Structure 1
Amino acid sequence: MQLVVGRIGRAHGIKGEVTVEVRTDEPELRLGPGAVLTTDPASAGPLTIASGRVHSGRLLLRFEGVADRTGAEALRNTLLIADVDPEELPEGEDEYYDHQLMDLDVVLADGTEVGRITEISHLASQDLFIVEREDGTEVMIPFVEEIVTEIDLENQRAVIDPPPGLIDDRAEIASSRDADEADEGGADDSDDDADEKDAR
């Protein structure tokens, strides 16, 4: 199975290094020296990682055969793809690969259907489930223990206990410029609570 594990950004310096937007929870494994990655577009690869380091909080990679800024800049926006055994599981408990979570049904504890996971967004602070509802709208669910209470791979579902305003109509009202201050204050409190839980 092929998984996108990163996207190449701008060139860094003059020796062929590039910044990389990491899209895997295991960068040491997927983006370590010696790893061979296919690419999208395919014409840019395959690429073999020669070295890697973290600079100012960002991952920098250098690929074999790319020795200058011109070559590095030519790779900008290229997706890095790793071949992963579909039966392989992460080493940590309660950790999952993106492909295990994609297309899971998202439901409340009482079984009420919320939607289906169509994308997983890896942010610096936390991961987010992008959930598509039946009406075609999308809602973002922070992948934190306080909200996502169960991942049931056998039954292909994720059970959530969302705070007020995360998935109901109040979230839409609070985001409107015409919302009154009381509604906005309620939504802001919910957001603050979610941030605090994630920080722990």
Structure 2
Amino acid sequence: MDDVSTDRLVARIGKPHGLRGEVTVQVHTDDPEARFTPATVFATEAATGSGVPGRLTLASARLHRDTWLLGFEEIPDRTGAEGLRGTRLLLADPAPEGDSDDGDEEAWYEDELVGLAAVDPEGDRLGEVSGLLTGTAQDLLVVRLEDGLEAMVPFVSAIVTEVDIEGGRLVIDAPPGLLDLARE
């Protein structure tokens, strides 16, 4: 189990930082900027009986004095963050919900996606897909926003809720602040 975990190891959680549930991490990946994007789901490895959830969803990531600080949707405060100390964050299995049959049904090529209109759940135009960056943990859609800036959107079903190739659009239900990252 350790050999498999080491191959998938992204980070190890250290001490809490602040009161809002952020934690420091020791990074074990060569590309933390790509791995630490909001909505990324990590599998966890923790001591038996620790109460650490089997999966954690990244809510925030920032670099503070050469140390990565991560926040998770499931951890709202410092007390919860303290319980994560020593937990290893691993690349999640490709089909965490067990809904993978052969994987072809929901696979798209970059040339199918580029040019699609990106709209929010209400149908308002956000921009246009201009690229796809493939990664080990997850892929990222490159979306040219209406104001000309580019945003990186995790290509996961929780955020990209619909892809309609024939209709020429995809629906992005972005968590608060995700598209604002392009403006920072």
Give the alignment's TM-score, normalised by structure 1: 0.40
Looking at both structures, which has the greater relative contact order when contacts are Cα pairs under 8 Å and sequence separation is at least 6?
2
Rg larger in 1 or in 2?
A: 1
Structure showing the higher helix proportion among its residues: 1
